[in-house]
Amino acid sequence: MISSLQSIKQLTFPPKEGITSVTALQMNVTYAILLLFYIINVKQWGKIAVTDSAKKDSQPYDSLVKHLFRSEARKIVPLLLQGAELVGDVNIEIDRSTLRVDLALKIRYLTELAILHFEAQSGEDEDMEKRMSIYNAGLHSTYGLPVISILLYLFECDTVKSPYHVTCAARKCSSCYYDVIRLWEMDPQPYIDRHAVEFYVLLPGMKDPSVALLKRAIKEIDEYYSPRQAVERLIPFGVMLNRTTTISESNKQKIQEALEMSTSYQQFIQQNPDVERFGQQREMEGKIKGKIEGKIEGKIEGKIESKVDSILKILNIRFPNDMLIDLAKQALGSIHDIEILGQLELEALRSPDEQDVHKWLGKYLSHNETESNMEGEEE
């Protein structure tokens, strides 16, 4: 079992020529942690629903995509912006204490130098327009170059529109223009047709990708990259698969199976069996927790049923009236608090007459049910 960072450091990828042992260790730790995230949070997607709180937690998704774009910037830039090419270093220096952009690259767009600003969003952000405006102006002020901004939404949600205008009494004070890409509206087929492997990580989030298309993408990732690089890309591929709403649950299962059979994935697991055991242990812990919670809920439900039966028996003995008992069944059926039922059991024992019983039962009946029962008694 993996229980510390020290044991994580023992995880290994196949060595690659030209890489020092220190650098290799750093990469191994990074990729191992990513794979652990995948196994714990993604591999068992079919067993745990994606909750609202999980959807709001966008950091893992945004971070994985940004990591990919940094490592593949030279090839991805022309895919993001036709007519653009990367110039110089992969990422320009940014003072992140004042400007927290996801990615800023120096590019040549057609014939002119520019800054390509990229932001990845996995959910709704009502301040996104303001942020894009601030980033755009800040980068332009810092580097004195035109700034081309691209906002990529990874998963279906409410999105902002471009341009963003700041106005005062119908007077335009400033404007910011940026491209908005909604991944779920993009056709995945052209990327497969042109073998744009660098973009394959995003395919699960695109518009209605077929099982065959995504299986082909997994196979090409395996063939195109080294084992280490392939695993690095298959992890965010699995993360995207887990979160996307453009693929049915049954198709997700088929793709998940193909992902786990990936040559690179299998090779990594063979060399690092503790990772798989860690994932299996987490799965077992989840099952045990589910069983315990089920037993607790069953015991509580049993106590509630027993308390309701006790109240009905007391009422039937003290006030043998079928209509009253039916009314009690309706009222008690809506109560799932064992303490409240205990209080009502005492009320049943000490109520002086049926009128008093009607009074405290009426608190737990809807207005219509109460009127209906009163009409029945009058008849």
Task: List pLDDT tens digits, range 207-220.
Answer: 999 999 999 999 99
Residue where a domain stops, chosen among 165, 185, 205 = 185
DSSP line for 310-349: HHHHHHHHHS--HHHHHHHHHHHTT---HHHHHHHHHHHH
Same domain, 156 and 95: yes
Claim to verify: residue 39 and residue 56 sit in the same structural domain:
yes
91 and 175: one domain?
yes
- Is 296 part of a structural domain of the chain? yes
Q: Check: pTM over 0.95? Answer yes or no.
A: no
Lowest mean pLDDT among 102-116, 285-299, 347-361: 285-299
Q: What is the distance of C-alpha 212 from the center of its chain? A: 24
Q: What is the pLDDT of residue 98?
A: 62
Residues 105 and 49 both lie in one domain? no
- Residue 29 near residue 8, CB atoms below 8 Å: yes
Show the tokens assigned to 308: 């309701």
Pairing of strands 179-182, 147-153: parallel
- On whether residue 209 sits in a domain, the answer given is no
- Where is average pLDDT lowest: 92-101, 238-247, 350-359? 92-101
Within a domain: 202: no
Which domain does 245 fall in, by range?
Answer: 9-71+214-271
Q: Is 197 inside any structural domain?
A: no
Do 105 and 55 share a domain, yes or no? Answer: no
Could you say which of 204, 238, 271 is where a domain stops? 271
Predicted local distance difference test score (pLDDT) of residue 285 = 53
Q: Which of 271, 297, 312 is the last residue of a domain?
A: 271
Q: Please tell me the total count of domains within the chain.
A: 3
Establish if 206 belongs to a structural domain: no
Do 250 and 331 belong together in one domain?
no
Q: Please, which residues bridge with residue 149 across strands?
A: 117
pLDDT at 49 over 60: no
| pLDDT confidence bin for 122, thresholds 50/70/90 | confident
- Average pLDDT of the chain to the nearest whole number: 76
Range name among 57-66, 149-158, 273-282, 351-360 with the lowest pLDDT average: 273-282
pLDDT at 369: 46
Among 23, 35, 25, 3, smallest CA distance to 272 is for 35
Percentage above 90 pLDDT, the chain: 30
How far, in whole angstroms, is CA 334 from its chain's centroid?
Answer: 34
Task: For the chain, list the strands marked E by DSSP.
Answer: 84-86, 103-109, 112-121, 147-153, 164-168, 171-176, 179-182
User: Is the domain of 99 the same as that of 121?
Assistant: yes
> Does residue 205 sit within a domain?
no
Poorest-confidence range of 153-162, 261-270, 348-357?
261-270
Residues 88 and 181 in one domain: yes
Of the pLDDT bands very low, low, confident and very high (cuts 50, 70, 90), residue 185 is: very high
Query: Is there a single domain that holds both residue 56 and residue 21?
Result: yes
Interstrand relation of 112-121 and 147-153 (parallel, antiparallel or unpaired): parallel
Predicted pLDDT of residue 187: 95
Task: Let me know whether 43 and 88 are in one domain.
Answer: no
The secondary structure of 210-249 as a DSSP string is -HHHHHHHHHHHHHHS-HHHHHHHHHHHHHHHHH-SSS-H
Residue 267 confidence class, pLDDT cut points 50, 70, 90: confident
Residue 200 resides in a domain: no
Higher-scoring residue by pLDDT: 161, 294: 161
Question: What per-residue confidence (pLDDT) applies to 184?
Answer: 95
Degrees (nearest 5) of the Cα angle 354, 348, 376?
35
pLDDT in tens, 69-84: 777 888 888 888 999 9
Within a domain: 276: no
Name the more confident of 334 and 63: 334
Q: What per-residue confidence (pLDDT) applies to 26?
A: 43
Q: In this structure, are 48 and 117 located in the same domain?
A: no
Are 43 and 99 contained in the same domain?
no
